[in-house]
Chains A and B, each alone.
Chain A
Amino acid sequence: MDFQVLLKKNESLFDYADIRAQTYTTDITKLNNQEVEALNKNEGYSYGIRVLINGSTGFAHSTKLNDAEGVLKQAIKNAKLLKQGVKINTPGEKISDKIIIKPQINPFDIDYKDKIGFLKEVISSLRKEDLIKNATATLIFTKENNEFITINKKISQEFIQTAFVCEATARKLNEIEHARKTLGAFKGYEALKEIDEEFLKSLKDEVITNLNAKHAPVGRMPIVCDQALTGVFFHEAIGHACEADSIINKSSVFINKKDQKIGSELVTLYDDPTMDTWGRYTYDDEGIKAKRVPMFNEGVLSGFLHSLETASIMNEEPTGNGRAQDPSSLPLPRMSNTVLKPGTSTKEEMIKGVKKGIYALGFSGGVVEPVTGQFSFKAERAYLIENGEITTPLKEVTLSGNILQTIKLINAVGNDPRDAKQASYCGKSGQHVNVADISPHIRISEIIVGGRV
């Protein structure tokens, strides 16, 4: 059924309604050592209908093809169950747009044998290193067509995504280490050109370095973070606290701090879905055109990321950050590509300025407690810095601190911004969306380093 016709037919039953529908195909190939662990193709269709009635939100979703009318009725029923709600300002302008991101080589045209062959080469390269006892490699190709429909809007966004994941496990006597590296791009099969010997060498180096690394010292000390770790720090510790729902829910340390200088003046941070990286989109999942949104300007908290609902509650303009994992989820304010404006320092200068501290690279996860501002994140690799020189490799380095204190303690920002090009997903309220971080190196004068003694 034509969704727009359905909405027009039932227009009198709601104040506002939108429909998100998704057609998807994924193709997964995974090898564990030289054995095929998974080879599959998944295709499907789902849609979700949101209605607003007297400020109440009702939402229903389904995979049933011919039940859109029933799903709309259910969404209306759900909205009517609620007595109170929030008046959401819904932009009424007419939009009809079709965005297609075309790959150079359609990965769905490539034979499974070639995909298996590619992964076999990856595994062979990793297993050349004697200490690597297990290697897995996975290719995930996704084709999606996401439609957004209201009475006035009809937007479709179609793309192909390529994600590559490889993991290596090394063993030396009783020591085991494991490392993982990913690549994600809105490209087709051509994206795999980046999986070269250098890419795989960095994974081998990481797992072997960690195998021989010592546990980190514990306590408070200065730290120099590489681009990937800086990216995760700003995403986890700062970006989430700028998502407007956390301000409304009073679960952000940035409440009542707008337009105040709360960070180092070296910090200028923004969200930008229009950049061609893993967090990109043209319209958010509420039909709002994506744009660059400032969060920090020279240490001053300058803006929040909004969905339609949070923008209405806070009486601000929607920013195009209302994102949902899929049509079965409601949009929430989310980051896309988080960008830290580069500074003037070189990595060498930053390290030279540290008497005893840590040089930490990459990330393997991070969390933040938005209410208290406590955060912790883990580096993939780390080295001790002694008298301005990088020395001993360290493992299991976790860094934690408090957002409001730490953002003041950034005393150098590098001139070397980089997109880690990873297939990164941010999780919030059970929903995962693609995100990217584009950051230079930074130095923080003091952070809690957790390791073992």
Chain B
Amino acid sequence: MQEILNKILRKGKKYGEVEAVITDSETKDVIIDDNTVKRIVTGNNKVLGIRVTLGKRFGYATTTRINNWENCLLEAYNIAKASNELIIKPELPGKQRYEKLVLDKKLKQTSIDELKDLAEKLINETKQANKEITLPEANVTKYIQTTNLANSNGVTASDTNGMITVAAEAVLGDGTAYEQASVAKGKPNITKLVRVMTDLCIKSQNPQKAETRKTSVILDYFAIAPLIEDIVIPALSADNILSNKSVFKDKIGEGVCSPLLSITDNGLIKGGLCSIPFDAEGVKTQKTELIRKGGVIGFLHDSFTAKKMNTSSTGNCTSLLKRPAIGPTNIITSKGDITKQEMIKETREGVLITSILGIHQANQITGEFSLGTVNAFSIKNGEVAEPLRDCMISGNIFEMLKQIKYIGKEQRQESSVKTSPMCFTNIQVIG
């Protein structure tokens, strides 16, 4: 692939500054439908993207016909010529040294037969846990992507990363439970997934109507992680600061959250689901502190926002498609020293929420949300009590983060966010 990239750069010299990237991805997917492995899907997808920058203008073009790179280059050049000037001149990153993140051998070699075995194990162990529990929908998916990129300013980078994800939804009576296990190393622990999922399903039987009140709420991983990923992290991205779309604008150095909370982005964690040695522009990734003990100390940048805000890129460019284009790698929140069990005990009275529904309904700028929940339970006398039905919670995540009561010990990562359960007081629960 580097050969084609070199050709593009050589030819591109006469047009302007050139960045080119080829991504080659491979998926293997075993689909469970109605308690049976129903389908096996494999595929590959290869795309070339070229960005041409002419002074303050830029254009981007992609194609799946890699051999058609000359047309793609010309297209990007013509678009750049037709575009308008940006306020500042974007700069291409220069040559740099990257950390070596090696894709786990075992994961790389996992065959479609082995993925099918994992899917069958999931079905069998679910049946063994409880004959009445069904698996209407589940997937075992392996995804591997190789990225090769280069630019006319000396950047050459190559990396292969991947993960295996098992996602399952179990049903018992009118109760459901979702569980997921994603790994960038080895194989997912099916036995643990089944235990957690079936346990949740059984405990969610005969749900009671939730009482409308303000109370303490513990948000478990699938409730707190989407709020962090979809609302808090965009507010810490420099593009939203520049566009007046962040509540953290002009707040550097100010306390915005509870001192219990620190948030960092780190693309270099070994075995992290979103670890990658370089970003879409070829800037090396790094550990970036965003919130330290409740105070905002940094934002996520690509090289365009970094130049606009007179700082350096944090290696968080996600795509050459637009300027800016910013996203997280692995987001890690600070760990508490209390277990979820202890948190429940200390909370005495309140609600435990396992997952929230429809995060896209939340106001991603203001942080206001009013969302349905799944597998919510009331907490009574320091213990998990009856399951709750039709239970909504509402509030403002930014206000909530100012009043964190506890952060749990047990961290997990199923998306870009590695976090623990968190407990908040005085939250509106609607039944």
Contacts and interface: CB of A to CB of B under 8 A. Distances in A.
B370 A63 contact: no
Contact of A177 (B46, B75, B137, B366): B366
A367 B358 contact: yes
B101 interface: no
Interface string B14-46: 000000000000000001011011111111111
Contact of A374 (B39, B65, B390): B390
Nearest to A397: B370
Interface in B199-250: 212, 214, 243-245, 247
Contacts of B428: 218, 452-453
Contacts of B61: 40-43
B40 A371 contact: no
B86 A35 contact: yes
B358 A366 contact: yes
Given A171-B244, A364-B361, A398 B65 contact: no
Contacts of A32: 243
B232 to A, nearest CB: 15
Best-buried of B79, B113, B372, B374 by chain A (most CB within 10 Å): B372
B64 A44 contact: yes
Interface string B400-431: 00000000000000000000000000001011
A285 to B, nearest CB: 15
A63 B64 contact: yes
B249 to A, nearest CB: 9
Contacts of A116: 83-84
B7 interface: no
Interface residues of A, number: 82
A62 interface: yes
A43 B42 contact: no
Interface in B349-365: 357-358, 360-361, 363-365
A185 B81 CA distance: 29
Nearest to B113: A81
A169 B244 contact: yes
B171 to A, nearest CB: 5
Interface residues of B, number: 77
B299 interface: no
A188 interface: no
A42 B372 contact: no
Interface in B324-374: 324, 357-358, 360-361, 363-366, 368-372, 374
Contact of B82 (A81, A112, A175, A377): A112
Contacts of B38: 57, 82, 85-86
B34 to A, nearest CB: 5
Contacts of A366: 358, 361
Given A74-B42, A218-B430, A366-B358, A112 B34 contact: no
Nearest to B64: A44
Contacts of A397: 370
A377 B358 CA distance: 8
Contacts of A376: 357-358, 361, 371-372, 392
A44 B43 contact: no
Given A39-B79, A448-B390, A178 B243 contact: no
B59 A39 contact: yes
Best-buried of A43, A62, A86 by chain B (most CB within 10 Å): A43
A248 B34 contact: yes
B374 to A, nearest CB: 6
A411 to B, nearest CB: 20
A424 to B, nearest CB: 13
A328 B43 contact: yes
Contacts of B80: 39
Interface in A388-424: 395-398, 400-402
B278 interface: no
Interface string B77-121: 001101110110000000000000000000000001100100000
Contacts of B40: 57-59, 78-79, 81-82
A256 interface: no
A91 interface: no
A60 interface: yes
Contacts of A45: 64-65
Contacts of B34: 248-250
Given A82-B40, A367-B361, A396-B368, A372 B136 contact: no
B409 to A, nearest CB: 30
Interface in A70-125: 74, 78-79, 81-82, 84-86, 111-113, 116
Contacts of A178: 245, 363-366
B136 A452 contact: no
A357 B160 CA distance: 56
A176 interface: yes
B394 interface: yes
Interface string A225-267: 0000000000000000000011011110000000000000000
Contacts of A36: 57-58, 83-84, 86
A242 to B, nearest CB: 16
A176 B371 contact: no
B212 A60 contact: no
30 contacts: A35-B86, A36-B83, A36-B84, A38-B321, A39-B79, A39-B83, A45-B65, A61-B41, A62-B45, A82-B38, A84-B36, A112-B83, A134-B245, A169-B244, A171-B244, A176-B244, A250-B136, A250-B171, A251-B136, A328-B43, A372-B174, A374-B372, A376-B392, A378-B361, A396-B363, A396-B368, A397-B370, A448-B390, A448-B392, A450-B392
Interface of A: 28, 30, 32-33, 35-46, 48, 57-65, 74, 78-79, 81-82, 84-86, 111-113, 116, 133-134, 136, 169, 171, 175-178, 218-219, 245-246, 248-251, 328, 330, 364-367, 369, 371-372, 374-378, 395-398, 400-402, 429, 448, 450-453
Given A374-B390, A448-B392, 19 more contacts: A39-B58, A41-B79, A44-B62, A57-B38, A61-B41, A61-B44, A86-B38, A176-B247, A219-B430, A249-B136, A249-B137, A369-B374, A371-B175, A376-B358, A378-B358, A396-B368, A398-B394, A452-B394, A452-B395
Pick the 4 closest A-B CB pairs, nearest first.
A249-B136, A367-B358, A44-B64, A38-B322
